[in-house]
Amino acid sequence: MFGKITRHLSRLRAAAELAFGARPDMLAEARRLMALEAIADPKERHDAFFEYLNWKALREGFEIYNKNLMWQDEPAFWDIWNASPYAGTQRHDRKFVLWSMARSTRHLPGDTAECGVLDGASSYLICSAREDGGLSEHHAFDSFEGLSAPGPEDRPRTSAAFHWTAGDLSVPIEETMLKLGRFGNVRYHRGWIPQRFGEVAARRFSFVHVDVDLYQPTKDSLTFFYPRLVPGGILLCDDYGYHTCPGARRAFDEFAATTPERSVVHLPTGQGFLVKRGPPADGG
């Protein structure tokens, strides 16, 4: 797609410059683009375009995703994602991190949970990552009426920034159940967090995904699930590094400061996580 657009632009630019006269640097760039276009081998052309666009983006202060990262060709992930009802709808790097973490904890005892499920894309990946992992249950907590009312902690720093309102991101539970229908181990807990947490108070968890965008439900989720996380288990917050979710970050930082782990690992995908420490080794 970008190849077509770039080719079209380069032709327009070359024509305009020939017609109206142009700066030498612009002409040189148009010639460079035309030379790229003339490369016959598709792989070679793709790589050359990548190099060109990367150079151009860096000059303008943008960054193009590194094409040498192996996750972009990881069949275990893509086979699941492309066969899912969510293919093509989301940023893949975040979803890959989620899937990879859910998978990396599959050998641990305990269930999985998600707080903030929407139509189920993340729960789908969590369940898929655990399909070969035995009999654990996946617990899905959501109001299915959208967000609760944002509090003062959720106010963005600038008035121009996007801000949430109660009821945003509402999806009917039936839609979520339909999309997650192939997983027999999903337990739905519909209601406002933390009202339904008591239903899983006796269970233990190896992976918990918190994705409720706001301060209070994030804090309530972490406070409830952390003590029930097995050693080595992961608490992942989807919203940690988003300007649009200042409350989620504050909640996780405040909570993490009260734990032995002390702080949150912040990822460039916007996610934040902590791995619960195990008891010290004998004699350690």
Ligand X SMILES: C[S@@+](CC[C@H](N)C(=O)[O-])C[C@H]1O[C@@H](n2cnc3c(N)ncnc32)[C@H](O)[C@@H]1O
- Pick the binder of ligand X from 169, 177, 230, 275 (CB under 6 A): 169
Q: What secondary structure letter does DSSP report for 161?
A: S
Candidates 75-83, 140-148, 200-208, 265-273 — which segment interacts with ligand X by CB under 6 A?
140-148
Q: Are 36 and 53 in contact (CB under 8 A)?
A: no
Q: Please report the DSSP string for 33-83 in residue order.
A: HHHHHT--SHHHHHHHHHHHHHHHHHHHT--PPPTT-GGGG-HHHHHHHHT
**According to the binding rule CB under 6 A, does residue 117 interact with ligand X?**
yes
Q: How far is the CB of 160 from ligand X (least distance, A)?
A: 22
Residue 29 or 213 having the CB closest to ligand X? 213
How far is the first Cα of the chain from the last one, in angstroms, to the nearest whole number? 57
Sign of CA dihedral 219, 221, 226, 232: negative
Segment holding 187, helix H or strand E: strand 186-190
Residue 37 or 153 having the CB closest to ligand X? 153
Q: Which two tokens stand for residue 120?
A: 């189920």
**According to the binding rule CB under 6 A, does residue 136 interact with ligand X?**
no
- Please, is 158 exposed, middle or buried when counting C-beta atoms within 10 Å of its C-beta (0-12, 13-18, 19+)? exposed
Angle between the N-to-C axes of helices 24-37 and 2-20, in degrees from 0 to 180, rounded to the nearest 10: 140
Q: How far is the CB of 123 from ligand X (least distance, A)?
A: 7
Residue 121 or 256 having the CB closest to ligand X? 121
Q: How far is the CB of 190 from ligand X (least distance, A)?
A: 9
Chain residue at closest Cβ approach to ligand X: 116
Q: Using alpha carbons, select from 160, 172, 157, 162 the residue that is nearest to residue 120.
A: 172
- Pick the binder of ligand X from 84, 112, 128, 143 (CB under 6 A): 143
Residue 50 or 242 having the CB closest to ligand X? 242
- Pick the binder of ligand X from 121, 140, 237, 264 (CB under 6 A): 121
Q: How far is the CB of 26 from ligand X (least distance, A)?
A: 44
**According to the binding rule CB under 6 A, does residue 177 interact with ligand X?**
no
> Within positions 192 to 231, which residues make up the interface with ligand X, using CB under 6 A?
192-193, 211-214, 217
Decide: helix, strand or coil at residue 219.
Answer: helix
Residue 121 or 127 having the CB closest to ligand X? 121
Binding site for ligand X (CB under 6 A): 116-118, 121-122, 142-143, 146-148, 169, 171, 192-193, 211-214, 217
